[in-house]
Amino acid sequence: MHRTTRLSLCLLLAALAPLFPSQARADSAIYGGGPFYSGGTTVIDDLRASGFTTVMLWSVHVQSNGDLYLNDKLIVSNGGYVGDSGWPSRLTRLRTAPTSVTRIELSVGSAGATDFENIKALINSQGTGSDSILYRNFQALKNATGANAVNFDDESAYDLASATAFGKMLYDSLGLAITFAPYTQVTFWKTLKANLGDRVDGVYLQVYDGGAGNDPKSRPTAWASPSIRACGADTAATAPAATARPASTVA
């Protein structure tokens, strides 16, 4: 997903792999960057009333020393949350009734970023144990955001060993589900899904720019995913209108 500031609407298309019939659901998600961090309660309340069920905090970038940024804002360093002190409470409000939002995901990576290269180097040097900087920083980020899942938007590294280790750390040790945001390299993503198994509960398939030729309805078995969501570029980065509607489910 490109790093330009924009929102992307991801529509769940109910294109389910035969192995996961119980996981069909009507759902919708929205990617957002700066406004979701610095827009205050006005943006949070717009999201609560929007009809979207998943909010994607986009993009989390992993530095070579393990520091975590949300776009250009440092939010986690040395195992501690160092971002806007009001953000955690705003994210708690996001899922406080009345609200349509039931899930928060942390999107890691984007086009032109070296996040997964940095993840690979950190795992090679420190591993993924509880004393590693990746573990400590993602634990701090989970605690601050209340996130349910981490979205893998790897568009350059495509390293199976480190991506598998990272996913297992997030799910097995930190209780974070995994989703993917692929647009190419089907073999990589299919193998990664096989490596991670049920830790992966969905795919946001990019159907714009480099992924413009992707068709979610024809790819559920190719992407080996319990559910395929089509992800397309949308509007400029402003708070979604309170009248925004959730996606319709299509067969």
CA–CA distance, 171 with 22 (Å, rounded to integer): 21
Residue keyed to tokens 């996001």: 94
CA–CA distance, 171 with 196 (Å, rounded to integer): 9
CA–CA distance, 118 with 113 (Å, rounded to integer): 10
Is residue 24's pLDDT more than 60? no
Question: 1-15, 143-157, 204-218, 225-239: lowest mean pLDDT where?
Answer: 1-15
247 in Cβ contact with 9 (< 8 Å): yes
105 in Cβ contact with 151 (< 8 Å): yes
Tell me the per-residue pLDDT of 42-73, one tens digit each, with 9 for 90 and over: 999 999 999 999 999 999 999 999 999 999 99
C-alpha distances in Å from residue 109, one per residue of 3, 69, 193, 210: 9, 11, 18, 16
CA–CA distance, 164 with 153 (Å, rounded to integer): 14
Strand, coil or helix: 167 = helix
- H or E stretch covering 70: strand 68-70
pLDDT of residue 243: 27
CA–CA distance, 251 with 241 (Å, rounded to integer): 27
pLDDT of residue 236: 31
**What tokens appear for 134 in the block?**
């990746």
Q: What is the mean pLDDT of residues 188-210?
A: 85
pLDDT of residue 85: 97
Tell me the per-residue pLDDT of 134-158, one tens digit each, with 9 for 90 and over: 999 999 999 999 999 999 999 999 9
Tell me the per-residue pLDDT of 76-133, one tens digit each, with 9 for 90 and over: 999 999 999 999 999 999 999 999 999 999 999 998 999 999 999 999 999 999 999 9
Q: Which amino acid is at 100?
A: S
Q: What is the mean pLDDT of residues 197-210?
A: 78
Confidence of residue 23 (pLDDT cuts 50, 70, 90): very low
Nearest in space to 181 (alpha carbons), one of 237, 109, 89, 77: 109
Confidence of residue 5 (pLDDT cuts 50, 70, 90): very low
Half-sphere exposure (Cβ direction) of 138: Cα atoms closer than 13 Å: 33
pTM: 0.81
Is residue 185's pLDDT more than 50? yes
Tell me the per-residue pLDDT of 222-246, one tens digit each, with 9 for 90 and over: 555 555 554 555 433 333 332 222 2
CA–CA distance, 118 with 116 (Å, rounded to integer): 5
C-alpha distances in Å from residue 35, one per residue of 39, 48, 94, 205, 225: 4, 14, 13, 24, 30
Q: Which amino acid is at 225?
A: S
